[in-house]
Structure 1
């Protein structure tokens, strides 16, 4: 029997995941988002809109969350508490905290509800194309039960271990990605100050070990005058690096790297620029506003 999906958080990434679920034949119910555009588009594609998260949960076999942070996940789950029933699954796509996942899993299990952390890597375009990679924390049996759902929007879904393992893997992935983004932008700021031609430097890096997806998205776009190549908000990057701190704190070098990257991201957030994309930190005007 096809599982009915209730999706909370159909924003830039979540709406793409919903599109892939609908394309795979899953009945999807969504709930009002602060931006109604993706909700209305999904309804046109066949999704149903619920008036509340409680109504959404009542008609779902699987409730999926794709929100901004661990604290929001806790608030949403608390709001759903009266509407959940034994036998349901909660798939949390949010990049949150491992300890929050284990705590929620234990509390939901007491009511017969199974919680799974399954954050993803990829961009909104990959979500809509069903080309994300899912990192899953669950039991092997639960993973196999839910894998068809995950496969609807993922070209790779890997079980990393029990609850919290998926989010741990995602935070480590983002620690590498966001640290790399800052190093790339520092290098090109230095190039700007020292009169080094960006295009020549970029073409050189493409032919060596410095080549990366982040380099191509950030600098490849910037060379065309577009500072929005890395479509991930500064606020979310800041949150992820903050959460990753607990994972690298035991290593002094790791802690220093984390602190430096976090500091670089906190400055634009504190200047009210958290909704801008990470790659926009290379824009001289954004750099000026954040200083």
Structure 2
């Protein structure tokens, strides 16, 4: 495939690695940069990606950028270095799950530098990333949407523009309120079932026939039944981070804010108990 997209991909980790693989399959030239874990970078280079040693090196050879970073703080730090290096009209697609305030600040900085900043946080997980089945929640100027869709199409089954910048973060955090809330209820229901002597396998079969059936239940329960707890690939630390972002967004929504505070307390307690890097579903481990 011959195209003019020379993509700089920053954040080729749990979600980003699968995205880069699919961009390469579609014929895009993709440049990657290592952070702490070199394994994904080495695997991607073996598939045809080019490794850059620094952001200035990447900026000198790419005409579009995708960010898929672990936090708003990291996104801000990267963009503070990256933006001054870029030519006017360069497009930056930020797939990070960001706080709303961060998106607004980055949009302001991009506008001052005459850059085209787009937010496109993602729905789905590691497997959906590998399978090109992600959803992209896009907030951008209407004129940028066609280009964003063209770049992200190899990675996504669904790409929707929700409105101007800020609507992506708002929608993504509401989606995570639903997703992480559902996963939390699955874990709590299974913990209670275990404590009260209910057989997990029978519970899962029966719950799957009712309105409590969910993707979270299907990810978490079957593995827990076999004694493994890696069904929901999302760490406690990331859950705390997202719940803090959600709490800030929903502060003026009394009922939702109260529910969020309960979830946040659960995961802060787990983090304080040494489970910060454990997966959300690992809370089902019996001591």
TM range (shorter): over 0.9
Q: Distance in 1 between matches of 2:56 and 2:285?
A: 43
Counterpart for residue 288 of structure 1:
none
Cα displacement (A) at 1:129: 1.9
TM-score (norm 2): 0.96
**Residue 21 of structure 1, CA deviation:** 0.6
Which aligned pairs between 1:25-40 and structure 2 lie closer than 5 A?
A: 25-40=27-42
Q: What is the SS of the residue equivalent to 1:271? A: helix
Alignment of 1:2-41 (within 5 A): 2-41=4-43
Q: What CA distance in whole angstroms lies between the structure 2 residues aligned with 1:159 and 1:48?
A: 30
Name the CA distance, whole Å, in 2 between partners of 1:112 and 1:236. 32
Corresponding residue number in structure 2 for 1:128:
130
Residue 202 of structure 1, aligned match among 196, 199, 204: 204
Contact in 2 for aligned 1:11/1:33 (Cα 8 Å): no
Contact map agreement 2:65 2:91 (CA 8 A) in 1? yes
Give TM-score, length-normalised by structure 1. 0.95
Aligned residue number for residue 175 of structure 2: 173
CA distances 1:244-279 after superposition (whole Å, capped 9, x unpaired): 112222222111100000011111222332221111
Matched residues in 2 for 1:105 and 1:251: separation? Answer: 26
Distance, in Å, in 1 between the alignment partners of 2:6 and 2:41 is 17
Write the distance in 2 (CA, Å) between the matches of 1:109 and 1:4: 22
Map 1:52-131 to 2 at 5 A: 52-131=54-133
Aligned mate of 1:256, from 255, 258, 264? 258
Moved runs in structure 1, 4+ residues, more than 6 A? Answer: none
Q: Is the 8 A contact 2:220 2:231 kept in 1?
A: yes
Kindly provide the CA deviation profile for residues 121-167 of structure 1, in whole angstroms up to 9, marking residues without a partner as x: 11212112211110000012101122111111001000001011111
What is the rounded CA distance, in whole Å, between the counterparts of 2:226 and 2:213 in structure 1? 18
Structure-2 residue corresponding to 1:224: 226
8 Å Cα contact 2:220-2:232 kept in structure 1: yes
Following the alignment from structure 1 to structure 2, what is the Cα–Cα distance between the partners of residues 128 and 195? 38
Q: Paired residues, what number?
A: 285
Instruction: State the distance in 2 between where 1:227 and 1:162 align.
Output: 39
- For residue 191 of structure 1, report the CA deviation from its aligned partner: 1.1
- Name whichever of 146-155 and 122-131 sits farther off: 122-131
Q: Secondary structure at the match of 2:274?
A: coil
8 Å CA contact retained: 1:53, 1:80: yes
Alignment partners' CA distance in 2, 1:274 and 1:93 = 23
SS at 1:266 equivalent: helix
Structure 1 runs not aligned, ≥5 long? 286-291
Instruction: Give RMSD over aligned pairs.
Output: 1.1
Of 97-106 and 9-18, more deviation after overlay is shown by: 97-106
Whole-angstrom CA distance in 1 between matches of 2:66 and 2:273: 33
User: For 1:143, which of 141, 145, 148 is the aligned residue?
Assistant: 145
Cα offset, 1:33, TM superposition: 2.1
Instruction: Kindly report which structure 2 residues correspond to 1:234-249, keeping only aligned pairs within 5 A, or say none.
Output: 234-249=236-251
Partner SS, residue 67 of structure 1: coil
Structure 2: any 5+ residue segments left out of the alignment?
none
SS in 2 for 1:6: strand
